[in-house]
Every structure is written in C-alpha cells, then in structure tokens.
Chains A and B, each alone.
Chain A
C-alpha cells in the first residue's frame, strides 16, 4: 500500500497534477478533492501525470472519469500522461483509451497546446 500523493503545478496549458502511489477505493476521494480544489479557466487543459502511479483499480478509473467530467464542466479538456502499462491495458479493455487523450509524458502533453498557440 503506497499512499497517494498529488502535486499540483501550473503549466502554460493549465494545471498539471502529478499523481504517485496507489489510486484505489480508499484514496480515490483524494484525487477527486484535488481536482475540485483547482481553479480552472475555460479552455484550459488539465493534465494528469501518471508516471508515478503504482496501482489503479475501478475506483481509480472512476476518479479519472470524475476529473474528466469536471474539466469538461469548466469548459476545459483533460489528458493523461505517462500512463503505466497496466493501467493502459485496463483503459484499453474498457474503451477509455478512446475517451482520454493519452500522451507518453507530461512534457508532450503540455507542449502540444503551446505549439498550436
């Protein structure tokens, strides 16, 4: 059991949440809360950097979906970065790989926008 830690930083494109540890039934509410607490401007991109994600179950998936809904509600978008292999597998099975934009790392995720802007 690795505790969940969430570090928030600002990129040009919008907030980036670096998530490390286990994302499960117990810790999923923490991610929800972190996303809730963000100040999100319309048109911004929320990036979830999952490089340090050790474990993700269906509660974790729910938390990712909630984050997505919240971003959309605020008129923004969401992207996942550096998704670990196992989580990628799950996302593929449940078809969410077509719902989330997925990037190999946070740099790429945040670069894209600025290149276009």
Chain B
C-alpha cells in the first residue's frame, strides 16, 4: 500500500498508525508454532508413560542448564527433580496422575545448573489414544520463585502472628492474675469479732471490671473502743482504686493516733487535698466514727464528710437518721468542716451506714430515685432483728432494683444484741 503524502488526504497520521499495527500483526503471524513452543515463557516437556523425556522446550533446558542431547530419550522427568521432588513425584504425583489422568499446580523443585534448585509449579496431563489407552504425558513447568518467596513470606508472617498471639495470651493471663490479686487487696476485709457487738456487711460492685470506690472497715483503737468508717471515692477504675487504698490506710493510721472523728477526717482531707492537683481532683465522701462500750450499751461518736447520714434501727421498731448536715466532701478544700454527732446504741439497736448506690437506685415505673425516706420506711418496716437480718433484708431490696441499680453499693451494720428475755419477765 502506498502512503499518501498529499496534504489534502484525510488524516495522514492515522494511516501511518494503521500501517504500523499491520506490520506488528504480520510479524506475530509469522511467529512459528515451533518458536512459540521453544521460547514459551514456561517449560514444556512430553514424556512416555514411564517418564522418559521425549520432547522438551528450550526454556526448560535453559533453566536446567542441560543440553537437549543429554535429556531426550535418556532422562526421566523425575531425574530433573531434587530428592524431595523425586519422592513426592513417586509417592503422590505419579499415582495421582495415574488415577486421575491429570495433576495441576503441584509445587516441586527442579535441579538447575550449578547444583541449585528452582521452585516450580508443575501441571501434567495424560494424552490417551482414541481407544482410551494412555500414550504420553504432557507437562508444563512454571517458574515459581516469586510464588515460593511469597509463600515463605506468608509462612513467616503466620509464624510471627502465631508467636505474637501466644505472647499476647500469656501477657493477658499474667495481667489478669495481677489484677485479681490487686482487686482482692482492695476489697473490704472480713469484719472482726467485736465483744458485745454484732456486725453485718454487704459489698457489691456494679461492674466486675471496674474497680469500685466504696470502702469500709472496723478495727480496734484501744481502751475497748472500736473505730469504723464507710465511704465512697469518686470515680471508678485504677485511679479511684488508688485513692480508695490511700483513704483506707490514712483513716486507719489517723484513728490509731487520735480517734476523734473530726480530727481523723481533717487529716484525710489534708492528705487527699495535698496529694491530688487541680487537674485531677480526687475526693471522697466518708463517715468515720468510734464505738465505746459503756454499761450494757455502746456510745457512738461519728463525723461525716459529705456522706449520706447514718440510720439507726431501734429496738422498738422505729428508724431514724442521725443527721450530720454541712459536712463537706473530703479532699476538696484545703480547710474543710466536718459535722459530728453522737448517739447511743442500746440493746436491740442497729447502726446502718450505706453508700448512695442504695438511695440513688432507680425504681418503680417512672424510674424514680429510691430516696432517703423510702430507706427509712423500709428499715422501720423490718422487725428489729439485728445487723445480719437487716443486711439480708437490704440485700433483697437491692436485688429487687435489678438494673435500676447501676452503682457500687456498700453496707455496714453494727448492732448491740437485744437483751435476752429473763424468765418470768412481763412482756
């Protein structure tokens, strides 16, 4: 075809492109079947049924680093493989090929020049005659170096992930155990036996994962006196738990030094206020008090730092708060005031301390706060049967709140056992 150089001819550039494409196409068509076979990007070979190589292409010969004359009619396919490949061939590949007539994508290593090995992917197919007799095997060999490297990467990655997972699991278990130990140490202790006094307690955390901020304790402070405290650190979690720990130890230490309730709370206030900066205010509410035995009853002297008032259940079935108005949260101001109160616990009386998880619980169809009045009424409705019975009744009440109770709750009840009725006495 002649090229038009005439300027008036339509789009001469385009015609030249067509020429170029035609030329390439023609040259492709001239690519002989032979060249396609010999220079294929993969290795080809054909073998007899016993594996003797009948035909092999140049690509594969080049990979093997072998002369055609050494291979054709003289070597078997298995001879091209490494020991592992040979074994795999004899025990898996050949039987599979026998049974199925074809096998594809099997990874084997072939031996290359200079005692090297080349990872390969092998596909073989049996050619049968018209009568179904197997005649020869055609095999394709793909260079699998990239794939092998990729597999090795995958394996490495998988091993690393396995190891990391194992390590993470081990770490998790270690942390879990450490956490359990710490949590144990933060729980309120078992209450001691106090001569002439009955005790009851209850402790419930709304969430087992978040360390609670409620605390209480009961311990001797000499001269037959017993100190008690119950309180609530603001917040939850490890930070609050640290404050709880500090608070408990400070109250105990202060009480052993001077058990006056207001003095003790002042000491705690100073410690908490000094310890925590304005960026991270940590405070608590607390009631601290001392029980002093006196001629068949106990005197109660207590002070409150911003904590709900204590409740006294009387032997005659009534119940009243022991008000301590105006006491401030502990740890908020450098100088704080704490309100003290006194009372007497006669035989059959029980003093109840609680955290606001109880009174702030939501109840009823309107999910109203349970409240102080309801608590007082509930307590008065219970027969005055001592601390343990009261705690049991209150536990039942808390359980009845269901999910209306979403805060931690602590209860501490201290009571003087009722006088035993003397025989013959008038009721």
Contact = CB atoms under 8 A, between A and B. Distances in A.
A58 to B, nearest CB: 4
Contacts of A57: 360, 407
Interface string A43-87: 000000000000001110110011001100100000000000010
Given A61-B234, A62-B281, A69-B278, A95 B369 contact: no
Interface residues of B: mostly helix, strand, loop or mixed?
loop
Contact of A99 (B232, B281, B333, B369): B333
A95 B278 contact: no
Contacts of A58: 232, 234-235
B238 to A, nearest CB: 15
B212 interface: no
Interface in A20-38: 25
A95 B326 CA distance: 5
A70 B281 CA distance: 11
A7 interface: no
Interface residues of A, number: 19
State which size class the interface on B falls in. Answer: 20 to 34
A94 B285 contact: yes
B322 to A, nearest CB: 14
B283 to A, nearest CB: 7
A39 interface: no
Nearest to B338: A95
A65 B283 contact: yes
Contacts of B306: 93-96
A96 B281 contact: no
B236 interface: yes
A69 B334 CA distance: 12
Most central of B236, B325, B332 by chain A CB within 10 Å: B332
B164 to A, nearest CB: 32
A98 interface: yes
Contacts of B262: none
A86 B359 CA distance: 12
B327 interface: yes
A86 B325 CA distance: 17
A93 B234 contact: no
Nearest to A32: B279
Nearest to B305: A95
Contacts of A25: 235-236
B94 interface: no
A93 B236 CA distance: 20
A57 B308 CA distance: 14
Interface string B317-336: 00000000111110011001
Given A58-B234, A61-B234, A93-B308, A98 B281 contact: no
A59 B213 CA distance: 12
Contacts of A59: 234-235
The 4 A-B residue pairs with the shortest CB-CB distance in the complex, in nearest-first order: A94-B306, A95-B328, A69-B278, A58-B234
10 contacts: A25-B235, A25-B236, A57-B360, A65-B283, A73-B278, A93-B356, A95-B305, A95-B327, A95-B329, A96-B332
Interface of B: 232, 234-236, 278-279, 281, 283, 285, 305-308, 325-329, 332-333, 336-337, 356, 360, 369, 407
Interface of A: 25, 57-59, 61-62, 65-66, 69-70, 73, 86, 92-96, 98-99
